[in-house]
Amino acid sequence: MKITWLGHSGFRIEIADQVLLIDPWIAGNPAFPEERADEATKGATAIFLTHGHGDHASTTLPVAQKTDAMIYCIHELSIILGAEGAQVTGFGKGGTITLGEGENAVKVTMVNAVHSSSIDFKDGAPQYAGQPAGFMISGEGHTIYVSGDTDIMADMEWFADLHRPDIGLLCAGGHYTMDMTRAAYVCQKFFDFKTVIPCHWGTFPLLAQSCDELVYALEDGVVQVPEVLVPIEI
């Protein structure tokens, strides 16, 4: 398995025979070198969106058109994207998408997140885009928890009990989401992650510019501070 940070909250996950893009904000992302867009999106088999905000979903349509990958997201957002010609499948919290077959199957379950969601990157007033979400991605004997944009929630207790994720892709930049201290608390209180990869940090001045607080709070080797387009192999 390879997990590659695309800056901010975007990830490329190579798992089994699938290449998943999570919130692939490519154009306009100050942390991402746009000249390397083809490298980031090559071979994508599916795109998963946690919510509709511009720093997550604003460049999804051109990425989907270029890769011919299906977009998966919450129902209301799927209607908006579908009206613009995208290949899109809407589903809801508790729903599971299965990609591939047999030993190579990858299962992606939508779970709750505490945030907001709107199309806020077009002219006019923001457009409601359904509720925000996270994902549990299972394959190759691992389960990855993609938190999406969220604060701490009591739901995380049963997430850990039911899904038992060993890898956490956690928002941790603060201001709009939980910060490094709160992300550390989540790891200590609810989960037994073997690998934690923080995201939603470093992109804007309002956000945390370092992951040191999270690194120091958890056991040595658990936090993998990502570098843009440098794969983390698990």
Tens digit of each residue's pLDDT (9 = 90 or more) over 87-141:
999 999 999 999 999 989 999 999 999 999 999 998 889 999 999 999 999 999 9
pTM, two decimal places:
0.98
State percent of the chain over pLDDT 90: 97
Predicted confidence at residue 57, as pLDDT, reads 97
Burial class (CB in 10 A: 0-12, 13-18, 19+), 97: middle
Residue type, position 137, single letter: I
* Average pLDDT for 41-57: 98
Q: Over the chain, what is the mean pLDDT?
A: 97
Predicted confidence at residue 124, as pLDDT, reads 85
**Domain segments of the chain as ranges:** 2-227
Predicted confidence at residue 122, as pLDDT, reads 86
Distance between CA atoms of 128 and 58, rounded to whole angstroms? Answer: 14
**Please, which pLDDT band fits residue 150 given cuts at 50, 70 and 90?**
very high
Predicted confidence at residue 210, as pLDDT, reads 98
pLDDT digits (tens, 9 = 90+) for 184-214: 999 999 999 999 999 999 999 999 999 999 9
Which residues are paired to 73 by β-bridges?
90
Which residues are paired to 46 by β-bridges?
20, 70
Which residues are paired to 143 by β-bridges?
138
Q: Taking 90 as the threshold, does the pLDDT of residue 12 lie above it?
A: yes
Give the class (CATH, top level) of 2-227. alpha beta
